[in-house]
């Protein structure tokens, strides 16, 4: 009887062993699968990188932190070189009145020589000023002298005493910019929010925008600008557009302020600005070649005048009408007269006044010869003139 009981226990015990082994094996299998799925290393095997939605979100978060840190570093590097520029107008010594603040914008300290520092800003920020004052990043106010400004490029250069200037911005390059690159705008929007930072991207690296200098409704110039979606508001004009290295890549100039239009701001590329700034600093103006005519785009002339007095052939639909030709100018000496219609310069087609100015200012210099193709009394003619300096 005892032997039968012992045999039963042994049989039961023998049945339990396989069950325990199966359970343990199952648990170990699940654990191993869990560890593999979670990306842990199993002893004796090489690590395997796991790509899952979870790891992707961690990576994106890390990139966001790095990017934010880069923007912060760029701003810290360049922010103290951005200043506020206040335009004072009026004032009369004999009437006992003083100049009053009439507007403000931003500026960038871009150069220092000896005991002088130089600030770039926009022409429209300083236009008509009888007195200019600059407020540094630390709140220090110093007087500024206008050395020169240019309406076409919307640039101006101010000179200040460098004693209190602590930082000069590093200059970058704008010629290699590409859409999608980070862009950071620093300025003083609304005239009192000093040192405001907005960030975005380069929307277009080489946009052309029409410029009407005298507000007569006629385009005087096609300005080459950087388009960015970094917020640029009134008061930002003249401030810095920088890259992630904290380098100056553009001078903020304007913002399209239209209903339902946001995120469209413009800056003058630093590569275009620098040569002009040197001329403004040295001569007080940007020296451009002078042709000596008062031009009007043919498209601005009512079509009934195409027959008389212009006497144009039917195929001529575009060009530049000579409204006036100065006798002692390059144009006058080359024989150009009132009512001549210029259609080409050096074989390049010109359809409007801005085309002519852009070609002369960008491609030519004082002393250059230019071949002009024009129509007079229905006849096609050519002449060559030598550009002089505007006095």
- The torsion angle over the Cα atoms of residues 202, 206, 207 and 209, rounded to 10 degrees, is 120
Active-site residue among 78, 80, 81, 124? Answer: 124
* Residue 167 falls in the annotated catalytic set: no
Q: How far apart are CA 43 and CA 201, in angstroms?
A: 47
Q: What share of the chain is helix, strand, coil (3-state, %, to 5)?
A: 30, 35, 35
Angle at 359 between CA 354 and CA 363, to 5 degrees: 155
Going from the C-alpha of 75 to that of each of 57, 122, 184, the distances in angstroms are 27, 21, 8
* Residue 237 falls in the annotated catalytic set: yes
Q: Kindly state the tokens that stand for 344.
A: 């080409």
Nearest to 142 by CA among 159, 125, 167, 126: 159
**Helix/strand/coil for 161:** strand
Nearest to 298 by CA among 383, 216, 218: 218
Active-site residue among 150, 154, 340, 355? Answer: 154
* Residue 328 falls in the annotated catalytic set: no
Q: Which residues contact 388 (CB under 8 A, 6 or more apart)?
A: 289, 290, 292, 329, 330, 366, 367
Active-site residue among 237, 253, 254, 297? Answer: 237
Q: Which residues are catalytic?
A: 124, 154, 237
């Amino acid at each position: 009887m005892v032997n039968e009981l012992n045999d039963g226990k042994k049989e039961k015990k023998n049945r339990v062993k396989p069950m325990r082994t199966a359970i343990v094996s199952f648990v170990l299998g699940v654990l191993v699968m869990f560890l593999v799925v979670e990306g842990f290393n199993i002893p004796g095997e090489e690590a395997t990188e796991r790509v899952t939605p979870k790891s992707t979100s961690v990576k994106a978060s890390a990139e966001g932190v790095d990017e934010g840190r880069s923007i912060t570093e760029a701003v810290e590097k360049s922010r103290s070189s951005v200043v506020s520029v206040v335009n004072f107008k009026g004032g009369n010594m004999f009437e006992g009145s003083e100049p009053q603040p009439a507007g403000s914008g931003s500026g960038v300290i871009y150069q220092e020589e000896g005991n002088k520092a130089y600030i770039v800003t926009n022409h429209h920020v300083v236009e008509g000023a009888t007195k200019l004052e600059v407020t540094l990043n630390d709140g220090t106010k110093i007087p500024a002298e206008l050395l020169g400004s240019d309406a076409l490029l919307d640039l101006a250069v101010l000179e200040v005493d460098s004693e209190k200037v602590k930082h000069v911005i590093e200059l970058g390059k704008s010629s290699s910019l590409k859409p999608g690159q980070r862009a950071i705008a620093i300025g003083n929007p609304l005239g009192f929010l000093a040192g405001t930072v907005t960030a975005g991207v380069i929307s277009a690296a080489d946009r052309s925008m029409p410029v009407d200098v005298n507000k007569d409704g006629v385009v005087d110039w096609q300005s080459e600008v950087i388009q960015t979606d970094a917020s640029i508001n009134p008061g930002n004009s003249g401030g810095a557009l920088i890259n992630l290295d904290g380098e100056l890549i553009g001078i903020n100039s304007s913002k399209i302020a239209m209903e339902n239009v946001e995120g469209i701001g413009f800056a003058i590329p630093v590569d275009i600005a620098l040569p002009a700034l040197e001329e403004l600093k040295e001569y007080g103006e940007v020296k451009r070649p002078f042709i000596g005519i008062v031009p009007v785009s043919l498209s601005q002339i009512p079509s009934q005048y195409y027959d008389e007095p212009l006497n144009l052939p039917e195929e001529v639909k575009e060009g530049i009408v000579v409204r006036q030709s100065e006798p002692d100018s390059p144009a006058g000496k080359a024989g150009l007269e009132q009512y001549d219609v210029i259609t080409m310069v050096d074989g390049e087609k010109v359809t409007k006044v801005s085309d002519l100015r852009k070609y002369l200012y960008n491609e030519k210099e004082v002393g250059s010869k230019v071949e002009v193709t024009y129509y007079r009394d229905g006849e096609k003619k050519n002449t060559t003139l030598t550009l002089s300096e505007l006095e």
